[in-house]
Amino acid sequence: MILSTVQRRGAWLLYYIFLAALLAANSFGYLDPDFGWHLKVGETIAREKAVPSEQLYMWSLGEAHWVDHEWLSNLITYGLWSLGGYVAVSVFFILLPLISLALINRYVFNNYLHKTREQVAFACFGTAALFACLPHFGVRMQEFSFLFFSILLIIIDQYRRTLNLKNIYWLIPLLFVWACTHGSFLIGVATVLGWMFYELLFKRRKTNKYIFLIGALAIAATLATPYGLKLYSFLSDYGTNRYYLSHIEEWRSPYSHSIRYDQIIYTLISFTLMLGAWLFSKQRWPLWQFLILMALLAAATRSVRHFPLLAVGTLLFALPNPLSNLLNKTLPYSKMLNNLLIVCLFLASLGLVAQSKYTQNPFQSYCQNFPCGAVQFLRDKAEYSSLKLFNDYGWGGYLIAAKPEQKVFIDGRLPQYPFAGHTMLEEYSEFFKIGNSEKKLDEYGIELIMFKSKEKPFEPDWIERFVLGKEYKTRFNPLIEFLKNSQRWKVIYSDETATLYARVN
């Protein structure tokens, strides 16, 4: 039974509404620990009409040199906050992955999957990829990399298909804006470089000289940001010391702590379909697509933070060919199935909208995870505002916006910053080594400590416990144990989330 244009468009409209509702539920479901400093830095940029060159929020670093590799993202965030509060900011960050998926769908449907049943199957994989990416989405700056990487791969693949040089001119403004928006532009630079050398080694076309010229101009455009070469110099710290890769949760491997089953299953299915199509299909697989997928798989295996980029790669390169081959003569798509899909999408969207907890005041709406009460206590007790504060790493960004007059010891901006012979994050970790807490507190003259009232224990699921042999562990915090047993420190405030300790004179 042939579907009308209205029926098809109605189904696709509800599909995107469903995705928007899913992203909204995720976005309002938690507050990114770094949102506070993003907002505050954006406010500073708007007020001073200049990008920051000195960090102003951590007393431990003084006025050390700082490059804000997300300065444009921060400025956009503050501008949206000024116009419509947290809801406006959230809507914008809901649109970023939604637009990314829409662009991917449009490109794949126009060039690879033309039948409705193929497109519906592909949309199911897109939804699965989005589910697996949700921990990386929300009001988070790395969503820009999801969008820009999608555009980058589409531009390169479009050239591969058409050999039209006009398409790749877009690489120049793309890499420039990406470099102003997020440090992940280095992945874009690496991708362009890899593609340039791939063309040189494997294609040997007459247009190679133009590819190298345009690629070089695109990479050079990243030097036209307000920071110039300083941007590369600052980001090189992430490569020289990789302590943060094993000690910050979102940078760790998907197999190291709490296993990300959704990401692993999605990746396994995608690559199984790809390799199956490659082995059993007569259609030749582009080597460039295979190489970039292998590089993305290696990056995502090393760190879950790179999974969204792998998701982009699989949607554009790994899935279209096998889905076209598998569904060529199977799974007919009828009017009844289309109507059922519409009903399911409508009901699912309503459910997601109903359960979403919309808020305009994020600094008061997520107090189960952030020290709202402790901040209010410090506001009411002016005598503590001038004290040197040692804070939980995950609360630094929140405190920068919630109580900007009181500088923090550490926040999420500079974990890799060279400090005390290693990095800032390593120096922070020194406070939690057994027998080391008192020494470090005295060394820095710390007078006030804000930490979690309860340490969340590691709770392995049944696979981790019975298959992988991981054990239930209550986190031991030597710093808190020292504070509880020391006569030199006292509790001045405590609730279910946060406890404040003050030094006894």
Tens-place pLDDT, residues 5-23 = 776 778 889 999 999 999 9
Q: What is the mean pLDDT of residues 488-497?
A: 95
Higher pLDDT among residues 217 and 467, named by residue: 217
Pairing of strands 448-452, 389-391: parallel
> Is the per-residue pLDDT at 212 higher than 80?
yes
* Model pLDDT for residues 34-55, shown as the tens digit of each residue: 999 999 999 999 999 999 999 9
Helix (H) or strand (E) holding 475: none
Contacts 24+ apart (CB under 8 A), 155-158: 156/191, 156/195, 156/288, 157/107, 157/289, 157/316, 157/317, 158/107
Residues whose CB is less than 8 angstroms from the CB of residue 102 and which lie 6 or more positions away in sequence, other chains included? 16
At residue 153's C-alpha, the angle toward residues 147 and 158, to 5°, is 125
* pLDDT, tens digit, 9 for 90 and up, residues 234-255: 888 777 777 888 778 888 877 7
User: Quick one: pLDDT band at residue 342, thresholds 50, 70, 90?
Assistant: confident
Listed in sequence order, the residues at least 6 apart from 25 whose beta carbon sits closer than 8 Å to its beta carbon are: 352, 353, 355, 356
According to DSSP, the residues that pair with 58 across neighbouring strands are: 408
Average pLDDT of 213-223?
95
CATH class, domain 367-503, is: alpha beta
Grade residue 1 by pLDDT with cuts at 50, 70 and 90.
very low
Token duo for residue 401: 């916006």
pTM attached to this predicted model:
0.92
Question: Tokens 């709490």 sit at which residue?
Answer: 258
* Six token digits for residue 378: 């410090």
Domain boundaries, the chain: 140-331, 367-503
251 DSSP 8-state letter: G
Q: Determine contact, residues 169/214, Cβ cutoff 8 Å.
A: yes
Q: Is 389 helix (H, G, I), strand (E, B) or coil?
A: strand
Q: Write out pLDDT tens, residues 369-387.
A: 999 999 999 999 989 988 9
Burial class (CB in 10 A: 0-12, 13-18, 19+), 399: buried
217 — phi, psi (to 5°)?
-65, -40
Sequence-distant (6+) residues with CB within 8 A of 493 are 373, 374, 377, 499, 500
Distance between CA atoms of residues 243 and 234, nearest Å? 16
Q: Give the mean model confidence (pLDDT) for residues 77-98.
A: 97
pLDDT at 189 over 80: yes
Residue 278's pLDDT band (cuts 50, 70, 90): confident
Q: Is the CB of residue 356 less than 8 Å from the CB of residue 28? A: yes
**Length in residues, the chain:** 505
Residue 27 confidence (pLDDT) above 50: yes
Amino acid 330: pLDDT: 55
Is residue 322 pLDDT above 90, yes or no?
no
44 to each of 48, 291, 369, 413, how far by Cα in Å? 6, 42, 26, 15
Long-range contacts of 339-343 (CB under 8 A, 24+ apart): 339/7, 341/11, 341/120, 342/10, 342/11, 342/14
Distance CA 18, CA 346 (A): 7
Percent of the chain with pLDDT over 90: 64
- What is the number of other CB atoms lying within 10 angstroms of the CB of residue 92? 16
Name the token pair of 420: 């005390």
CB atoms within 10 A of CB 259: 17
Q: What is the mean pLDDT of residues 420-432?
A: 93
Taking 60 as the threshold, does the pLDDT of residue 331 lie above it? no
pLDDT of residue 110: 94
Please list the alpha-helical segments (H only) found in 206-315: 208-221, 229-235, 237-240, 243-247, 261-280, 287-302, 307-313
The count of other CB atoms within 10 Å of the CB of residue 284 is 8
Task: Count the Cβ atoms, other than its own, within 10 Å of residue 496.
Answer: 11
Judge whether 390 and 440 are in contact, CB under 8 Å. Answer: no
Task: Kindly state the tokens that stand for 92.
Answer: 């914008």
Q: Is 72 strand, coil or helix?
A: helix
Q: Which amino acid is at 266?
A: Y
| Complete DSSP assignment for 176-214 | HHHHHH-TTHHHHHHHHHHHHHHIIIII--TTHHHHHHH
In 356-477, which ranges are continuous DSSP H helix? 362-365, 372-380, 396-402, 424-430, 437-444, 462
What does the pLDDT look like over 281-301, one tens digit per residue?
Answer: 666 778 889 999 999 999 998
As a whole number of angstroms, the distance between CA 16 and CA 100 comes to 12
